[in-house]
Structure 1
Amino acid sequence: MDNIKVSVIVPVFNAAEYISKTIDSILNQDFQDYELIVVDDGSTDNSLEIIKKALENTTVPNRIIHQENSGVSVARNKAIEASNGEYIVFVDADDYITPNHLSTLYNGQSDFSLTLVVKKEGEKLINPKPYSQTSIKTEDFIKMELNMQIVFNFFQLMYKAKIIKENNIKFTPGIVYGEDIEFAHKALFYGDEIIINNEKTYYYIQHPESAIKTTEYKRFGIVKIFEDLADFYNKHNKPELANLITTSRIPKAIFGNMNFFFHNGYDFDEVLSKMRELDLLTKMSKYQGDSKFKFKIKMFLLNPKIYYKMWMKLKNTID
C-alpha cells in the first residue's frame, strides 16, 4: 500500500462487548492515509464476526489477521510485521479514541509523539495531569518514567515504524503484565525526541471485574521485566538508567503492587510469602529516592505486619 502514514494496531481476544465501539472510533478519524490492522487472537466468542461486520463497508484500508490463541504480544508482533505505515499506533480492544487522535499525534517528523490518556472506570473519569513542556528528549522522558514522576501508558505514543523495525523491537511473548512497558522503553531508547500534545484523545477503560481475575500475583512479574531492561541499558552503555531501575523503579513497582493486593483483599500472609519467595523484600530495600517513600519502605521492612495493620486502619490508597 502506498501513502500509508499511520498503521493502527488492535489485538483482540474475546472482546465482543467492546470491539465495535473501538473500531468505530478508529474509523471515525479526521485524518487521512491510515490503515487498520486487527489481530484476532483465537477469540472463542463472536469478536471475529463483529470485526468483519464493522469493517465490511469502510474505505479505510484494513486487514484482519486471525491466529490461534498465542497472547497479546504475539498478536501485536504479527501486526507490526504486516504494517505499512510510517508510524505505528496501538489501541486496545476495549478502549476508544477521539476523532482527532491520529491528527493530533501525526506530524511526519518526530520519532515519537504523545497525547493524554483518560482513565474511565464506569462513569468515573480520571483526567491525566498535563505535561509542562511541548517536547522532551527521550532519555529525559525515560528517567522521569523510571522515577515514576509521570503517569505513562505505552499506547499514548505514536512510534516511528522505522525505529521499531530496524532495531527489531518486539513484545516479549508469554508476559501477561508489563510487556508494553518493556516495548516502549526499548523503542524510546533508539529515538531522540517526543513531541507532546496535552490533548486528551485516548480513553482507557478499566473494568471493575478485570483487576483481580486477570492479574493475581503475575503483577510481580514486572520486576523481571525491569531487571531485563536494566541488563539492556547496561549492554548499551547506560549504567545510570540501569541504576535508576534498581534503586527507584523496581522498589516502587514492588511496593505499589503489594498495596494493590492489600487494597483488593488479598491475604496478608499469602502476599508476604510470595514476596519472600521472589526475594522482593531485598529488592525493595535498595530504594534510594525521596525520604517520604523511603520511610514507608523502611517501616514495612522493619515490621510488615504492623505496617499492614496501620495501612488497613487508615484505609490507605494504593501508592
Structure 2
Amino acid sequence: MKPNISIIIPVYNVEAYLADCLDSILVQTFESFEVILVDDGSTDGSPAIAQKYADAHSEQIRYYRKENGGPGLARNFGISKAKGDYLMFVDSDDIVDPEMLTDLYESAFVLESDIIFCPYFRHGLYQEVTIEGTYDFDMDKVYTGTDFLKQSDYTVTTCSKLYRTAFVKQFAFPAHWFEDVAWLPVVMSYAKKISYVSTPYYHYLRHDTSIVSSTSNKQILGSLDAIRFIVQNANPEAATEVAPFTASLTLYMCTRRPAFADRYVDLLMENKDFILSNTNFEEHPRLKVRLDYYYNAFQAIPKHIYYDHFGKTTLTEQEQNNLDTLVGTLVEFDAKITCLNEENCDIDEHPAIRKAYDEGRYHVVGQYFKCKKLMEEGGIALSKQVRGIKYITPLLLRTQALFGFQNDTSITERIYAAVAGHPVMQEIFDVFMAHIDQDDAMTIAMREILMQKNQLTYSYDLECNFKQKYLTAYNETVRVYATCVLAHDYGIGSAYSDCHTKPLSKEIKNGTEYTLVDSFYFDTLLRITKDYTVYQMNRERQNKANETFFLHRKIGNLRNRMHRQAMRITVLKDRSENIKMHYDAVTRMKIIWYPYQFLRKLFPAKDVKAWMTQREADKKLAYFRQIIEQPEEEAE
C-alpha cells in the first residue's frame, strides 16, 4: 500500500543517536508512512543499527547504503526513493514527538499546501531548551514561501517540515556542506502555498561533534558556497525577499563563525550589487545600518601575524607552545603567520637598528620591523610571549587599528594591529625612532601618541563596561581596548589574548603550586569578579521577569489557539466521516505531554505506541462527543 508520507533520514556515524531517532518515529500516531534510511558510508556501528531496525520493521523501514558523498547527495538519493505524496527530512541525531506527522498532514490535507512547517525545540550543548522557528502566521491560512523568507532573517532548517514530493523533486540539494542552508531558501522562493502549525514537535539536538556546533572547522566554509547557491538559484521573481535574507544570513554567519568573519565580509562585498539593488531598506532599517558600515569606506585589518625572533637563539618551551597554538586560538588555518628574523630583514638598513642588534637588544629590533610591516602591508604585530585565547578576527573587522591597555599607565606592545598606511602607525614609528636607544622605546611611543596626545585615559569603569570595552581616536578608526580584552584573561569570556607585563612565575609552598601576579592584575581581578557577579545576578533577575511575562503571553496565545480550533471543529462536525482526521484542541495544544522518549526506554516501542494510540483515541472520542452533543447555537 502506498504510504502518505516518506521520512528520509541521512545516516553517517551516529551510532549513539540513531536508535533514539528511529524509536521516536515508530511511535507516531500517524500510521501511513515509510522510513528511508540512507547510510552515507558510515564507519561506526550505524549500519548495523539501521539494518536491525529495517529487519524488524520491514513493512515501514527501507535501508540503503551508499559511498560517502555528503548529506546533500544522501538527501537526493532519499528523494529519488520516496513513494509518499509528502516527504519529511529528519536528522539521524534528532527526535520527533508522536503527533508530528498527524498534525502536519492534517494541515496539508485541509489547506492543500506544498510545504507545512512547525517550530522546533532546540536542545543546546548545556541542556538548555528553547523553542525556535516560530512565525506570526495563522494556522488556517495559506501563505507563500516569500512570506516565510520575510520573517526568517537567518533561520534555516529543512527539518520540522512536510513537503509535497512532486513539488520538491525539481530541486536538488548541492553536494557541499550546509546543503540545507542552501536548499531551503531556494525552495521557499518558488513555493506558492505553505502553511504553519504552531505547536513544536521536532527536537533538534546539538552535539559537540556536529558541524554546526563548530566555530572553526574547515567544513564551516561550506556555508559560503551555500549562500552563493541561494543567490544563483533562487527565484528571480523573489529577489526582493531573497536579497535581505541573504544579507542577514551572511551577517549572522560572520558573528557565529568568528574565525572566518573576514570570509563572510568578503562575501558581502561579492554580493553587494545584488543586495543593494533588491533590498527595500525602509522595511529593513536595522539591516541598512549594519550594511552601511561594510559598504561605505570599510577597510579590514589583514589576518597576517608578524612575530619576531632575532639573535638566532633557541625558543623557550613557553614561546614555542604559544606559537604552536596560535592556529586554533587566535586565528585559524587560513591566516598568514610570518617570523621576522635575519633571513628576511635587513639589519643594516638603519644604523640605529644595527647598533641595537649588536648590543643584543633584539626585542627593539623586532619592534622596528613589525611596525614597518604594519605601515607598509598591515596586519597583526605579536610577541612570542602572547598566549592566544579567542579568535581575534571579529576585532580586525571593527576598526582600522587596535591596541590594548596593559595597565593604568601604559599600552601593551605585545599585540597591536593596523591596516596599511594608517597615520597612527607612522606617528608611533616616529616617536619610537626618537627613543630607539631605550629598551622601552615602543612603550614610550604608544603612551605618548595614544594616552598623551589623544588623551585616552584608562579607568576601571572601562574595564567593567560589559557593552563597550574600548576608547576611540583618529575619528573612531582606532580602538584601545580594556586590559581584559587584549592584555589579561580575567576568566569572564572576553579576552582574545593574554600578555602579562612579565611572565608569571610559579612558587610551591607546602606542596601547592601558586601563580605570582603583579598587584594591578590581582586588584583588578578581584574588582572584576565582584562586579561581574553582581551583573550576572541582575541579569538573572531580569531573565526571570522576562520568563514570567512570556509565560502569561504563552497562556494567552494558548487560549486563542484553542478557541480557533474549537471553531474549526464546529465547522467540521457535520462531516462525521472525516472527524478522525482532526485532532482536538487539547491534543494540539499539548496541555498534557507524555515524554515518550523516556517511556520507550522502559517499555517496548510497540507497547508505547499502542498505549499512546489508545490514550489519544479515548481523549479524542470524549472531546468530540462533547462538541457534537452541544446544541448548534451553543457550539457556534
TM-score w.r.t. the length of structure 1 is 0.81
Structure showing greater relative contact order (alpha-carbon pairs closer than 8 Å, 6 or more residues apart): 1
SS of the residue corresponding to residue 198 of structure 1 reads: coil
Query: What code does the residue aligned with 1:4 have?
Result: P
- 1:131 aligns to what? 136
Q: Quote how far apart the aligned CAs of 1:126 are.
A: 1.3
Q: Does 1:110 align with 2:113?
A: yes
Matches within 5 A, 1:74-85: 74-85=73-84
Q: Contact 1:95 / 1:203 at 8 angstroms: preserved in 2?
A: yes
Instruction: Report the Cα distance in structure 1 between the residues aligned to 2:267 and 2:114, rounded to whole angstroms.
Output: 38
- 2:222 aligns to what? 218
Q: Quote how far apart the aligned CAs of 1:18 are.
A: 0.8
* Equivalent in 170, 173, 180 of residue 172 of structure 2: 170
Query: What code does the residue aligned with 2:70 have?
Result: G
Query: What code does the residue aligned with 2:207 have?
Result: H
Q: Quote how far apart the aligned CAs of 1:279 are.
A: 4.9
- The 1:98–1:78 alpha-carbon spacing in structure 2 relative to 1, beyond 3 Å, is same
Instruction: Report the Cα distance in structure 1 between the residues aligned to 2:271 and 2:97, rounded to whole angstroms.
Output: 41
- 1:283 aligns to what? 271
Q: Quote how far apart the aligned CAs of 1:298 are.
A: 2.7
Q: Quote how far apart the aligned CAs of 1:180 are.
A: 2.0
Query: What code does the residue aligned with 1:195 have?
Result: S
Tell me which protein shows more strand as a share of its residues.
1
Instruction: Report the Cα distance in structure 2 between the residues aligned to 1:64 and 1:112, rounded to whole angstroms.
Output: 25
Instruction: Report the Cα distance in structure 2 between the residues aligned to 1:190 and 1:243, rounded to whole angstroms.
Output: 13
Q: Contact 1:4 / 1:35 at 8 angstroms: preserved in 2?
A: yes
Q: Which runs of 5+ in 1 are unaligned?
A: none
- The count of residues paired between Structure 1 and Structure 2 equals 293
Instruction: Report the Cα distance in structure 2 between the residues aligned to 1:32 and 1:293, rounded to whole angstroms.
Output: 45
Q: Contact 1:251 / 1:284 at 8 angstroms: preserved in 2?
A: no
* Equivalent in 245, 261, 285 of residue 249 of structure 1: 245
Larger Rg: 2
Instruction: Report the Cα distance in structure 2 between the residues aligned to 1:275 and 1:163, rounded to whole angstroms.
Output: 32
Q: Contact 2:154 / 2:248 at 8 angstroms: preserved in 1?
A: no
Query: What code does the residue aligned with 1:110 have?
Result: S
Query: What code does the residue aligned with 2:136 have?
Result: Y
Q: Contact 1:95 / 1:204 at 8 angstroms: preserved in 2?
A: yes
Instruction: Report the Cα distance in structure 1 between the residues aligned to 2:101 and 2:268, rounded to whole angstroms.
Output: 40
Q: Deviations over 1:50-97 (max 9, x none)?
A: 112234323652210000111111111111111111110110111110
Q: Contact 2:171 / 2:187 at 8 angstroms: preserved in 1?
A: yes
Q: Contact 1:16 / 1:47 at 8 angstroms: preserved in 2?
A: yes
Query: What code does the residue aligned with 2:2 have?
Result: N
Q: Contact 2:35 / 2:62 at 8 angstroms: preserved in 1?
A: yes
Instruction: Report the Cα distance in structure 2 between the residues aligned to 1:182 and 1:216, rounded to whole angstroms.
Output: 13
Q: Contact 1:254 / 1:284 at 8 angstroms: preserved in 2?
A: no
SS of the residue corresponding to residue 52 of structure 2 reads: helix
Instruction: Report the Cα distance in structure 2 between the residues aligned to 1:35 and 1:306, rounded to whole angstroms.
Output: 49
Q: Which runs of 5+ in 2 are unaligned?
A: 301-395, 403-465, 471-492, 495-636
Q: Contact 1:115 / 1:197 at 8 angstroms: preserved in 2?
A: yes
- 2:61 aligns to what? 62
SS of the residue corresponding to residue 141 of structure 1 reads: helix
Q: Deviations over 1:226-266 (max 9, x none)?
A: 22134xx23xxx1xx224433x123222211111122xxx2
Q: Contact 1:142 / 1:185 at 8 angstroms: preserved in 2?
A: no
Q: Quote how far apart the aligned CAs of 1:190 are.
A: 4.9
SS of the residue corresponding to residue 200 of structure 1 reads: coil
Compare 300-309 and 49-58 and name the one that shifted more: 300-309
Q: Contact 1:85 / 1:161 at 8 angstroms: preserved in 2?
A: yes
- The 1:254–1:111 alpha-carbon spacing in structure 2 relative to 1, beyond 3 Å, is closer
Matches within 5 A, 1:1-319: 2-58=1-57, 60-107=59-106, 108=109, 109-122=112-125, 123-128=127-132, 129-134=134-139, 135-144=141-150, 148-149=152-153, 151-165=155-169, 168-172=170-174, 174-177=175-178, 179-210=179-210, 211-212=213-214, 213=217, 215-230=219-234, 233-234=235-236, 238=237, 241-246=238-243, 248-262=244-258, 266=259, 271-272=261-262, 274-275=263-264, 278-281=266-269, 283=271, 286-287=275-276, 288=279, 289=281, 290-300=284-294, 302=298, 304=300, 305=396, 307=398, 313=469
- The 1:296–1:24 alpha-carbon spacing in structure 2 relative to 1, beyond 3 Å, is same
- The 1:188–1:292 alpha-carbon spacing in structure 2 relative to 1, beyond 3 Å, is closer
Q: Quote how far apart the aligned CAs of 1:141 are.
A: 2.5
Q: CA RMSD in A?
A: 2.9
Instruction: Report the Cα distance in structure 1 between the residues aligned to 2:467 and 2:290, rounded to whole angstroms.
Output: 11
Q: Contact 2:255 / 2:261 at 8 angstroms: preserved in 1?
A: no
Instruction: Report the Cα distance in structure 1 between the residues aligned to 2:148 and 2:158, rounded to whole angstroms.
Output: 12
SS of the residue corresponding to residue 84 of structure 2 reads: coil
Instruction: Report the Cα distance in structure 2 between the residues aligned to 1:227 and 1:130, rounded to whole angstroms.
Output: 24
Instruction: Report the Cα distance in structure 2 between the residues aligned to 1:11 and 1:85, rounded to whole angstroms.
Output: 17
Instruction: Report the Cα distance in structure 1 between the residues aligned to 2:397 and 2:66, rounded to whole angstroms.
Output: 49
Q: Contact 2:95 / 2:202 at 8 angstroms: preserved in 1?
A: yes
Q: Quote how far apart the aligned CAs of 1:296 are.
A: 2.8
Compare 101-110 and 32-41 and name the one that shifted more: 101-110
Instruction: Report the Cα distance in structure 1 between the residues aligned to 2:46 and 2:468, rounded to whole angstroms.
Output: 41
Query: What code does the residue aligned with 1:260 have?
Result: R
Q: Quote how far apart the aligned CAs of 1:156 are.
A: 1.9
Instruction: Report the Cα distance in structure 2 between the residues aligned to 1:292 and 1:185, rounded to whole angstroms.
Output: 21
Instruction: Report the Cα distance in structure 2 between the residues aligned to 1:64 and 1:311, rounded to whole angstroms.
Output: 52
- The 1:229–1:61 alpha-carbon spacing in structure 2 relative to 1, beyond 3 Å, is same
Query: What code does the residue aligned with 1:21 have?
Result: D
Q: Contact 1:229 / 1:242 at 8 angstroms: preserved in 2?
A: no
SS of the residue corresponding to residue 199 of structure 1 reads: coil
